[in-house]
Chains A and B, each alone.
Chain A
Amino acid sequence: MSQTDHIGKGPNRVDGPLKVSGTAHYAGEFNVPNLAYGYVVNSPIAKGKVVQVHADEVLALPGVLAVYSHENVPHLAWFDRSYKDLLAPGGSPFRPLHSPDITFNQQPVALVMAETFELARYAAALLRVDYEQEKHETNLETKRTEGYLPGGGKLGYAPPPPPRGNPEKAWKNADQKIEAEYTHGAQHHNPMELFTSTVEWLGKDKITVYDKTQGVFNVQRYLTGVFGLSKDNCRVVSQFMGGGFGSGLRPQYSVFMATLAALELKRSVRVTLTRQQMFSIGHRPNTLQFVKLATNPDGSLASLQHHALHETSLFEDYTENVVNWSGMQYQCDNVKLGYQLAQLDVYSPQDMRAPGAATGNPGIEIAMDEMAYAAGLDPLEFRFRNYAERDQNVDKPFSSKKLRECYREGAAKFGWDKRPLEPRSMREGHLLTGWGMAGGVWDAMQMPSRASARITADGRLLVLSGAGENGAGTYTIMTQIAAETLGLPLEAVTFELGDTDQPQAPLQGGSWTAASVGTAVKNACDALGEKLLKLAQKQKDSPLKDADYDEVEFVNGQLRLRRDPDRAVVLRDLLQASGVTQVEAESTALPNMLKQNGYSLHSHNAVFAEVQVDEDLGTVRVTRVVNAVAAGRILNRKTARSQVLGGVVWGLSMALMEETIMDHKFGRYVNHNYAEYHIPVNADMPHIDVLFVHEDDDIVNPLGVKGIGEVGMLGVTAAIANAIFHATGKRVRDLPIMLDKLL
């Protein structure tokens, strides 16, 4: 029996003991000697110019080291391309401290450096800045008719597919139809850890940057481009990240500021943003959605139209895939999908957990609920009648799709069959109970990735890849993959990540890390395995003589022949006998385009939610959620479950609480703190059941894994909104559903 089968089980996180003991070090926790501290000053206006920065006044304070602004920042890279990171959308990236022009409220305008954090904070408060204010516009409502099609896209952006059939005619001719508008305001990622960079000065133009980022190579590319450093002299490290959710995909102005100051002061520097400043670094955009649906008499969809308009900045065309999902989620021959942007005097939006899908999903899934009611059908039955066996957007089959099983297993666990169709039919005193459901779909992606593996004579394996750990469990699943590939116990394996000195990994996002880095780790370990086999075969009287690599397996610390497990060598004995100190290998993993090209690659889920609404007071309590997920192979049941649990919390938050409120008079967010930007607390938690539906897929990648971080959030918001309708008979289309909308 194998004791080294780790994949699919649920071992504890290997980095757990560090995290629970306060010994995992985040970016702001490298207390290198002689640190100088920076504090950023932000614009109080949304549009205009900086006329003057009165730096001299605060420089007079003992201990204040420097004030940087556009007035004195040294010559940096000239061309836009130097500032373009891997996830930059079309347009010109924002350049901090570059010009006097103010294009959004809370734009950073100066950096104050001082001997201590407290002094830098104080000096920043004293710094007088004169502004010339111009009229701004931050209200998306004023741009309803001014939407435009984005020009250039960004990594992962796909324009909506061309229309199919004749959706408008089909809609007009149908008996049963609905038409509605769905909206939500801006939302901010708000990871628990503040954006921080500690830049260690190592002598002439050589630095190590400890940054909060979801991509050390992206930050290195940005810093080398902007500051003209060589890669050798600009090492970027991020071993732990206190939550990202997309906010760390692009380099933030904190790392620009810290690097600038370190190079100028020739000294180690730390810059930490405040929670308020965390509302100036990108957001899920304020979005308006318009959906039209119609059904045939048999309950099949006759027409599906979904259009979205969202804000972007004046300088970049931020794009995300909002509506495309609707065209693949249901079988329908008359489909029109539209997507437009509108420019406002705000900062560029930024990918935020399940970008695009988290927006479009509530749009289409609340509309589907409305359509089901208009057609007199149970919402789940309605989805079965419109199940898409094929991705009509691209006219390809799915590599695998177990959504039907998600619906069935989720419904069974939830007890959906006992649901009365009529709203307001479950009451206990003033509490109305409602049940709602929705489904979700997300891409299964794989990005190019590299990893190395090294085994030493003591039998310990070290695996490296410059990936990220922001809570998804990267350390743990990579350790499992490596250990299983080479037949080792988890304790014998160390996986290290988050360092540009390591083999290159992609950005940590899009739910692609398991597939991308996981495959690279497996490949590197297999490459190492082949070397070990050769080493074994060099031994006198080797029991594995003439065996091919695919005829052997690594199990329980042994290398053995599959068909005759008695013909085996003990790995540690082999290493010691052969006299080598170590064996290493490096490998690249690329998606197998040849294999994947004919297929649509996606993960799916189905969510069922129960709410209780106080009819008089409008208060909502979510009491139960079942989230059934089909995402290929589950590498670690414990950490995967946690990701889905977190997804439920995010969906609940979006349904009931989250919104960054813009005061259009100032063009400034007003609830820019954790006290008034509400995210759920423990007391808000429902009972949550997570089901993983078995799904085999050997097309998507060699591991058969699809990723779980985004899909687990989908469906939740709509299921809750639909449950509230079922409870109260009130259809709320403007998220979040706070109590006043139910009074």
Chain B
Amino acid sequence: MYPFTYSRATDVADAVRDKAGHGASAYLGGGTNLIDLMKYNVEQPAHLVNVAKLPLDKIEDLPDGGLRLGATATNADTAWNEQVKARYPMLNQAILAGASPQLRNAATNAGNLMQRTRCYYFYDIETPCNKREPGSGCSAIGGYNRIHAILGASEACIATHPSDMCVALAALAPTVRVSGPNGERSIAFEDFHRLPGDQPQYDNILAEGELITSLDLPEKGFAKNFTYLKLRDRHSYAFALVSVAVGLELEGNTITDARLALGGVAHKPWRDKSAEQLLKGQPATAETFGRVAAHVVANAVGQGSNDFKIELARRAIVRALQQATEGRQRATDAFLNSNP
């Protein structure tokens, strides 16, 4: 870990000002990923601005019927929030499928969006990695890539975004509110994270110095027909190989609205709007699900050790759509939530 100076911001303006006043600096939230990466020398900020105790930790109703998730509310407080549990249970399940109770107690909502890939080579500074060291090459291509992308990857990078929470958010489509040196702006969640292209060093579209202040969920929460299905190499405390967030609205057996997002398959939480369109107006049947699942993975590309993910994702989509239709959250990992 490289040395750094430290300050604690008192309000958002102070934080933005403080960060701008230092060169290679970073905002520090829960620290669960940033400090991790600093210990591996992957991140080397010279200054940290602690924003974890800014008054951005509220979860509150919005006038338009939506719900505002404060940037510094912890993942745990968000998951167990009564409004979230009742109105956005898919988000509750996705958060609880991720990390561990300890990490969820420290990690913030904004930090969850900002977490970086778990690519083995990104983490190991002794190996080339275009995301860590632009131009050095991608070791995962042609290397061991079990946890890598099958959709939207580039010749420069096949890393995945590791979040569970963000997969549910991709399906729920909140707005990301940010403050920066040039004022405030709102970003649609689907635009927030980016694909690697030839600049894999950028995970998202935030401009220098911008700070996330909240996630504003729209009213529609798909609280009745939803699922978050996570597949991984052990039954808890492991990153997703493939995960699927599904929200459906049904009239009888006909799908009237649908959301479908995947985790563990791409550089960003992978929402497939064309698949959502394919679902709309169709009967909720195995035939429909199979057709849509095949559509989602039609352009998927395997890299060797992750080839299996294409078939796994296809099957997981079918299962998730079935579960959502039946109106029961039953991930195979079975987190039994007896007090929803």
**Residues of A in contact with B (beta carbons under 8 Å apart):** 44, 118, 121-122, 125, 614, 616-619, 621, 656-657, 661, 663, 665-666, 668, 670-673, 675-676, 678, 680-684, 738-740, 743
- B337 to chain A minimum Cβ distance, whole angstroms, is 14
Contact B236 A617 (CB under 8 A): no
Q: Which residues of B contact A666 (CB under 8 A)?
A: 126-127, 139
Question: With an 8 A cutoff between CB atoms, is B143 at the interface?
Answer: yes
Contact B1 A118 (CB under 8 A): yes
Contact A671 B234 (CB under 8 A): no
- A688 to chain B minimum Cβ distance, whole angstroms, is 16
Q: Which residues of A contact B139 (CB under 8 A)?
A: 663, 665-666
B residues 270-303 near A (Cβ < 8 Å) are none
Contact B233 A738 (CB under 8 A): yes
Q: Which residues of A contact B7 (CB under 8 A)?
A: none
Contact A739 B1 (CB under 8 A): no
- A661 CA to B124 CA, complexed, in Å: 14
The stretch among B151-159, B190-198, B307-315 that forms the contact with chain A is B307-315
Cβ 8 A contact of B143, one of A617, A665, A678: A665
Contact B316 A668 (CB under 8 A): no
**Extra inter-chain contacts (13) besides given A665-B143, A684-B236, A743-B312, CB under 8 Å:** A122-B2, A619-B333, A621-B235, A661-B146, A663-B127, A663-B139, A663-B143, A672-B124, A675-B238, A681-B235, A683-B234, A738-B233, A740-B308
- A740 CA to B236 CA, complexed, in Å: 18
Cβ 8 A contact of A739, one of B124, B126, B231, B236: B231
- A619 CA to B333 CA, complexed, in Å: 9
Contact B312 A684 (CB under 8 A): no
Digitize B114-138: 1 where CB-to-A-CB distance is under 8 Å, 0 elsewhere.
Answer: 0000101101101100000000000
- B296 to chain A minimum Cβ distance, whole angstroms, is 16
Question: With an 8 A cutoff between CB atoms, is B10 at the interface?
Answer: no
- A40 to chain B minimum Cβ distance, whole angstroms, is 14
- A670 CA to B121 CA, complexed, in Å: 7
Contact B308 A665 (CB under 8 A): no
Contact A671 B120 (CB under 8 A): yes
Contact A681 B236 (CB under 8 A): yes
Q: Which residues of B contact A657 (CB under 8 A)?
A: 233-234
- A250 CA to B147 CA, complexed, in Å: 35
A122-B1, A617-B332 as given contacts; A665 in contact with B142, CB under 8 Å: yes
Most buried by B among A618, A621, A670, A673: A670
Cβ 8 A contact of A619, one of B127, B147, B332: B332
Contact B2 A670 (CB under 8 A): no
Q: Which residues of A contact B234 (CB under 8 A)?
A: 656-657, 678, 680-681, 683-684
Cβ 8 A contact of A125, one of B2, B144, B332: B2
- A619 CA to B232 CA, complexed, in Å: 8
A122-B1, A617-B332 as given contacts; A683 in contact with B235, CB under 8 Å: yes
Q: Which residues of B contact A122 (CB under 8 A)?
A: 1-3
Contact A739 B241 (CB under 8 A): yes
- B138 to chain A minimum Cβ distance, whole angstroms, is 12
Question: With an 8 A cutoff between CB atoms, is B27 at the interface?
Answer: no
- A614 CA to B315 CA, complexed, in Å: 11
A617-B231, A619-B332 as given contacts; A675 in contact with B239, CB under 8 Å: yes
Question: With an 8 A cutoff between CB atoms, is B81 at the interface?
Answer: no
- A107 to chain B minimum Cβ distance, whole angstroms, is 12
Q: Name 22 interchain pairs, CB-CB below 8 A, sorted by A.
A: A118-B1, A616-B318, A616-B319, A617-B332, A663-B127, A663-B139, A663-B143, A663-B144, A666-B139, A668-B124, A670-B124, A671-B120, A675-B239, A676-B120, A678-B238, A682-B236, A683-B234, A683-B236, A739-B312, A740-B308, A743-B311, A743-B315
Q: Which residues of A contact B143 (CB under 8 A)?
A: 663, 665, 670
- B325 to chain A minimum Cβ distance, whole angstroms, is 15
Q: Which residue of B lies closest to A740 (CB)?
A: B308
Contact A617 B144 (CB under 8 A): no
- A739 CA to B123 CA, complexed, in Å: 25
- A713 to chain B minimum Cβ distance, whole angstroms, is 18
Q: Which residue of B lies closest to A618 (CB)?
A: B312
- A43 to chain B minimum Cβ distance, whole angstroms, is 9
Closest 7 A/B residue pairs (Cβ): A44-B126, A740-B308, A683-B236, A683-B235, A670-B120, A616-B315, A684-B235
Cβ 8 A contact of B315, one of A617, A661, A676, A680: A617
- B36 to chain A minimum Cβ distance, whole angstroms, is 9
Digitize B305-331: 1 where CB-to-A-CB distance is under 8 Å, 0 elsewhere.
Answer: 000100110011011000000000000
- A64 to chain B minimum Cβ distance, whole angstroms, is 13
